[in-house]
Structure formats: C-alpha cells, structure tokens
C-alpha cells in the first residue's frame, strides 16, 4: 500500500479526531523513523514521549517475543509473574509503595483520583490542579486538566476541580479548604510547555497537603521512567508524593499505565473499588521490565543527564544566532525552547528536512530525544534546526 492508499483508508474508516501529517510510518529503529516513501527521519520526540529508550529497543523486542510465546494476557483473577516483578522493580526505584497497573496515563490518573477520594474522609471531594496542566482526556482527567481549550464542548465538567496558577505558592495556600482531597501536579508540565515546578513549589504542596490532611499526587506520566536523568522527576527534590502516576515511556512503546501509592494509602483500594481488564497483562509488564533493565544495563540515566546538558548547550548556542529563540529550559532530556513567535511552521520544516521535534503551547519547541541518543545525533538535529531557523528569518 502506498502513502495515498493508506491515507484514503483513514479518510474512509478512521475517525478524524487527530490532525495528522501526510506521512505513513512503516518502521522505527532506535532514534530513527522510516516512512512509506523511503524517507529516514531523526526522531527527537519518539512516539510522543512513549518510545523513551528509542523505537523497537532490542531488549524490549526480545522480551515481547519471549512473553508472547508463553502468555500474552491473563485476567486479574489470577497472579502472573511479570506484573509482580514489574511492581517490585518500580517500587524499589520509587518510594517503596505498592502498584496498580492500567493501560494509559489518563487511566493511571483516574485511579489516583479515585484512590484519593477513597482514602480521605467523605467531605473531602475537591482536587487542586495547576493551570497549564495536562492529565488526560477521560471525563475526570479532562476536568483535572486546567486548560479551557480541552473543556470546550464538554461542559459541565465533573465538579470538584479547583485550578491555581502553576508555581504560585500563595495561590495554592488560598485555594486550600477542608474539602480538598488532593493536589495533583506534574513536576514538569509537558503539554503545557516544559514548565518546571520549582523545588519550593513542590515542598509547599507537600507541607500544605500534610497540614490539611490532603494527598499529594504527582503526575509523572511524561516525566517518569528516566527522562529527566532520575527514575522519577520528584527525585531531583527532597519531596516524596503520596501517589504517583506513570505511563508513556514505561512500556517501551507498549500501552501500560501505573499508579503507585504509599502502602497505607494503597490499602484503601480493596476488591470491588477499582479494576482494569487489560491492566497489568503479562505482555505489557514484560516489556516494562525489559525497559527498566535496559535503562540500567546501558546506563541510560547517566546518558540522559549528559546528553541533556549537551543538547541544552547546543540550543543555547543557537540562541546566540537566532533572535526567535527566547530561552531554553528543562531537565535532562525533557527540553523546551521558548520562541518569541509560533513554532509550528518550524516543526513542519524540520520534518521536511528529516528531523522530528514537537511544538507545544504554540511557541515552545519540545525536544525529548530517546535516552539512547548520542552527541552525533544531537549535532545532526541541531544542524537541521539551525538551517530551518536561518531560512525562516530570510
């Protein structure tokens, strides 16, 4: 099937709820994508932050092949080894809590919100979230997402969500009442434009939650699993959340979500209160175990730190040359380039030249290279971006 034939199929049979580019991707390998027209694309935003250790990582592929031949899915009526093993590996690398598995980020956040309601007293039904956040597209998580553009057409929203400006401690203080069950934030807002929470902000959330008998939920769906150079972004601070959610990079490309809570909180989730048919299936869990092993065996956390610094340095150099770049921000391999005007045209032109990056919030270029990236590949990406910015100002 050629590109046009595939697009025709979509036009006829697939709901058009995405703005898609006119390209059909047929293969992914490491830092590269290949389209049906034979183009090779350097991917600095692999799978919307899902393919965190690159496309089709050999260790993930091997684990999937092996697991697929033994057991793909077994319902949660039974125990299965990959789910238990994954929970252990994650718990040891996070705050020692227990894990619940599902299939996406939104589902992980749904589980977190339900657990916070279950664990806290019945008059506590409110959730504080931050402006610019993104927590998913289900009814509760879209209400948690404090960006009006995601609410259009869906009013009235699920009640109970209170929005505060991000990184604003006094606004948070003012929003607290006895009815607050939890505060939910991203340590670095991804879709919101790579906005990094200050240490003081996370510390203040922790203190205010403790003072008011509320829970602190960190949405690490995009920041988690090594992206920032630590297993989880909260580990850059002294703050430990009560509940944390994961998804995107966890399965190396396979759909999986996870919610973890401190043991005494997790205990509120007794049989009958929450469930997922596919959650924790053997195939997805085996993939996630392979991701964790690959990150450790190949020293990818160190690589994320080192290459993150390198990428930022290179982008800072571009800033000296191109006035459209206002500043560069981010942690590890989660980097945003704040432009002084729209970035979408720049992203399109980069793709035409064989580089995939993303633009979010209208004017922030998002670089989230796979954790296996090398200096040579970053140089290649910078060179393409440089040429596009140069042409753009002509």
Ligand X SMILES: *Cc1c(COP(=O)(O)O)cnc(C)c1O
Q: Does 105 bind ligand X (CB under 6 A)?
A: yes
- C-alpha 365/C-alpha 344 separation (Å) is 8
The answer for residues whose C-beta is within 8 angstroms of residue 100's C-beta and 6 or more apart is 111, 258, 259, 260, 261, 266, 269, 274, 279, 280
User: Which is nearest to 373 in space by CA: 362, 361, 381, 383?
Assistant: 381
Among 28, 46, 190, 336, binds ligand X (CB under 6 A): 190
Q: Which residue is nearest to ligand X (CB)?
A: 105
- C-alpha 225/C-alpha 45 separation (Å) is 15
> On the CB side of 33, how many CA atoms lie within 13 Å of its CA?
22
The string over 225-251, giving b where at least 16 C-beta atoms fall within 10 Å of a residue's C-beta and e elsewhere, is bbbbbbbbbbbbbebbbbbbbbbbbbb
Q: Does 106 bind ligand X (CB under 6 A)?
A: yes
Site for ligand X in 191-210 (CB under 6 A): 191
- C-alpha 253/C-alpha 28 separation (Å) is 11
Site for ligand X in 115-174 (CB under 6 A): 134-136
Nearer Cβ to ligand X (216/325): 216
- C-alpha 306/C-alpha 229 separation (Å) is 9
| CB 269, min distance to ligand X, A | 20
Site for ligand X in 238-257 (CB under 6 A): 247-248
Angle at 104 between CA 98 and CA 109, to 5 degrees: 60
Q: Are strands 334-339 and 25-29 parallel, antiparallel or unpaired?
A: unpaired
| CB 190, min distance to ligand X, A | 4
Nearer Cβ to ligand X (134/166): 134
Q: Does 110 bind ligand X (CB under 6 A)?
A: no
Residue with tokens 């981010």: 330
Q: Across the strands, what pairs with 331?
A: 334
Among 51, 222, 228, 311, binds ligand X (CB under 6 A): 222
Nearer Cβ to ligand X (190/343): 190
| CB 161, min distance to ligand X, A | 15
Q: Across the strands, what pairs with 334?
A: 331
Nearer Cβ to ligand X (147/387): 147
Structure tokens at 330: 């981010």
| CB 179, min distance to ligand X, A | 24
Site for ligand X in 262-321 (CB under 6 A): none
| CB 49, min distance to ligand X, A | 7
Binding mask of the shown chain, residues 44 to 73, with x at each position contacting ligand X by CB under 6 A: ------------------------------
Site size toward ligand X (CB under 6 A) is: 15
Active site residues: 134, 219, 248
- C-alpha 330/C-alpha 135 separation (Å) is 19
| CB 375, min distance to ligand X, A | 27
> On the CB side of 332, how many CA atoms lie within 13 Å of its CA?
28
Nearer Cβ to ligand X (49/63): 49
CB 249 within 8 A of CB 227: yes
Q: Does 97 bind ligand X (CB under 6 A)?
A: no
Nearer Cβ to ligand X (47/322): 47
- The one segment of 6-14, 27-35, 104-112, 229-237 that binds ligand X by CB under 6 A: 104-112
Nearer Cβ to ligand X (259/384): 259
| CB 218, min distance to ligand X, A | 10
The H or E element containing residue 336 is strand 334-339
Q: Does 330 bind ligand X (CB under 6 A)?
A: no
| CB 239, min distance to ligand X, A | 17
Among 110, 131, 219, 242, binds ligand X (CB under 6 A): 219
Summarize the chain as % helix, strand, coil (round to 5). 40, 20, 40
Among 186, 294, 334, 343, binds ligand X (CB under 6 A): 186
Nearer Cβ to ligand X (97/257): 257
User: Which is nearest to 292 in space by CA: 106, 110, 48, 99?
Assistant: 99
- For ligand X, the binding residues (CB under 6 A) are 104-106, 109, 134-136, 186, 190-191, 219, 221-222, 247-248
């Amino acid at each position: 099937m050629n590109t046009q034939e595939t697009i025709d199929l979509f036009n006829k049979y697939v709901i058009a709820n995405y703005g898609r580019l006119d390209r059909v991707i047929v293969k992914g390998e490491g830092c590269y994508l290949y389209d049906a027209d034979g183009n090779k694309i350097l991917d600095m935003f692999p799978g919307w932050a899902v393919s965190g250790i690159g496309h089709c990582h050999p260790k993930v592929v091997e684990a999937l092949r092996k697991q697929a031949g033994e057991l793909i899915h077994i319902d949660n009526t039974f125990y299965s080894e990959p789910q238990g093993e994954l929970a252990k590996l994650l718990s040891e690398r996070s705050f020692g809590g227990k894990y619940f598995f599902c299939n996406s980020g939104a589902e992980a956040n749904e589980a977190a919100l339900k657990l916070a309601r279950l664990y806290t007293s019945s008059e506590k039904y409110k959730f504080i979230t931050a402006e610019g956040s993104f927590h998913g597209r289900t009814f509760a998580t879209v209400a948690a997402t404090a960006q009006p553009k995601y609410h259009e057409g869906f009013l009235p929203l699920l009640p109970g969500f209170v929005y505060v400006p991000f990184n604003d401690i006094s606004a948070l203080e003012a929003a607290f009442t006895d009815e607050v069950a939890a505060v939910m934030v991203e340590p670095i807002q991804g879709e919101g434009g790579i906005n990094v929470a200050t240490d003081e902000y996370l510390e203040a959330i922790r203190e205010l939650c403790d003072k008011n008998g509320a829970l602190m939920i960190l949405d690490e769906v995009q920041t988690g699993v090594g992206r920032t150079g630590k297993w989880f972004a909260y580990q850059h601070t002294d703050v430990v959340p009560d509940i944390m959610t994961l998804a995107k990079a966890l399965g190396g490309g396979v759909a999986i979500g996870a919610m973890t809570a401190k043991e005494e909180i997790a205990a509120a989730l007794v049989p009958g209160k929450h469930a997922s048919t596919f959650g924790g299936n053997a195939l997805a869990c085996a993939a996630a175990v392979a991701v964790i092993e690959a990150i450790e065996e190949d020293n990818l956390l160190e690589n994320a730190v080192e290459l993150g610094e390198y990428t930022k340095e290179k982008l800072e150099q571009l800033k000296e040359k191109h006035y459209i770049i206002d500043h560069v921000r981010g942690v590890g391999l989660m980097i945003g380039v704040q432009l002084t005007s729209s970035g979408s045209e720049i992203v399109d032109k980069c793709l035409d030249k064989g580089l995939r990056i993303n633009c979010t919030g209208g004017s922030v270029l998002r670089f989230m290279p796979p954790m296996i990236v090398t200096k040579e590949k970053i140089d290649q990406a910078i060179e393409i971006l440089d040429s596009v910015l140069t042409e753009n100002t002509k």
